[in-house]
């Protein structure tokens, strides 16, 4: 199924209320969404930042639930991917090689194989810095159903260099699990379409809704095309969004505004 002949990709993203520390409940919720997504022909389902473990939790709590990228949580999600034949991007607390903890996302394909694991590189405020170590490498670009896919996590997207780097590496779709809270809705409503437009790529920005302890999430999840047009969007309630991505839109957008081929990197030394 990873043939380069796939010209379309059906993606889904679940804007959910958080379930802090309730991994069993998160897995049950994921299973239900996969069942619904399968009826809609979804090939890739995306969940928010730290969706399986909860985000706004204490350092002691996160230390208790963090696990290796190939631990029990991975096995449970991989089984669901195999059962429904749908790939999944999920957020979780990852325990690293030296016992450090990362805010991570993992992409498991429809066969249950991990093809991408990424650790958040740009930590946001005390919320992130008190809980996580920062990743030191941007997402790889991997192939799923013939599409070149990469990921970023929440605050990463707010640095234009991050998404431009992934685009230069060949990404056609960047999935962005996020935990955007009030009062920063302009990131979802304004920055996300700009990132898609200036890089001529698809972006799937997948947020929480509702509250988690003292955080109030703004929702506003969206799937945006390379022209900056919103293909699907959410308000502030739980919802499963879907959209069909078409590779012909990528080519038309890149031909119309060839930002990448007309770059002049020799002038941008300070950025590198």
Task: Give the residue numbers annotated as catalytic, written as ranges.
Answer: 49, 120, 154
Per the listing, tokens 């963090």 go with: 66
d(CA 139, CA 234): 26
H helices within the chain, ranges in order?
A: 23-39, 59-65, 72-84, 125-129, 160-168, 185-186, 192-199, 247-256
CA dihedral 193, 194, 195, 198 (to 10 degrees): 130
d(CA 168, CA 51): 29
Count of alpha carbons within 13 angstroms of residue 250, beta-carbon side: 19
How many CB atoms sit inside 10 A of residue 255's CB? 10
227: nearest Cα among 264, 205, 259, 265: 259
Tokens of 246: 């078409």
For residue 173, report the phi and psi dihedrals to the nearest 5 degrees: -135, 130
Count of alpha carbons within 13 angstroms of residue 8, beta-carbon side: 6
For residue 66, report the phi and psi dihedrals to the nearest 5 degrees: -65, 145
- Give yes or no for a contact between 146 and 2, defined as CB atoms under 8 angstroms apart: yes
Quote the Cα angle for 55-133-168, to 5°.
90
d(CA 238, CA 247): 29
């Amino acid at each position: 199924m990873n043939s380069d002949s796939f010209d379309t990709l059906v993606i889904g993203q679940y804007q959910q209320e958080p379930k802090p520390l309730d991994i069993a409940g998160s897995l049950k919720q994921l299973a239900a969404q996969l069942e619904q997504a399968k009826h809609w022909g979804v090939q890739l389902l995306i969940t928010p930042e730290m969706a399986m473990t909860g985000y706004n939790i204490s350092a002691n709590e996160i230390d208790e639930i963090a696990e290796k990228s190939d631990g029990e949580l991975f096995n449970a999600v991989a089984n669901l991917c195999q059962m429904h034949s749908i790939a999944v991007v999920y957020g979780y607390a990852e325990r690293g090689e030296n016992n450090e903890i990362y805010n991570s996302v993992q992409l498991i394909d429809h066969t249950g194989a991990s093809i991408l694991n990424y650790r958040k590189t740009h930590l946001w405020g005390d919320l992130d810095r008190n809980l996580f170590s920062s990743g030191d490498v941007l997402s790889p670009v991997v192939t799923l159903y013939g599409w070149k896919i990469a990921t970023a996590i929440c605050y990463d997207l707010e640095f234009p260099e991050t998404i431009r780097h992934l685009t230069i590496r060949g990404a056609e779709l960047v999935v962005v699990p996020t935990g955007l809270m009030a009062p920063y809705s302009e990131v979802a409503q304004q920055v996300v379409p700009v990132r898609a437009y200036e890089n001529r790529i698809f972006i799937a920005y997948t947020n929480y809704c509702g509250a988690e302890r003292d955080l109030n999430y703004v929702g506003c999840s969206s799937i945006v095309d390379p022209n900056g047009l919103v293909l699907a969007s959410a308000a502030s309630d739980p919802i499963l969004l879907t959209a069909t991505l078409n590779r012909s839109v990528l080519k038309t957008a890149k031909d119309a505004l060839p930002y990448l081929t007309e770059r002049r990197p020799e002038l941008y030394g300070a950025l590198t």
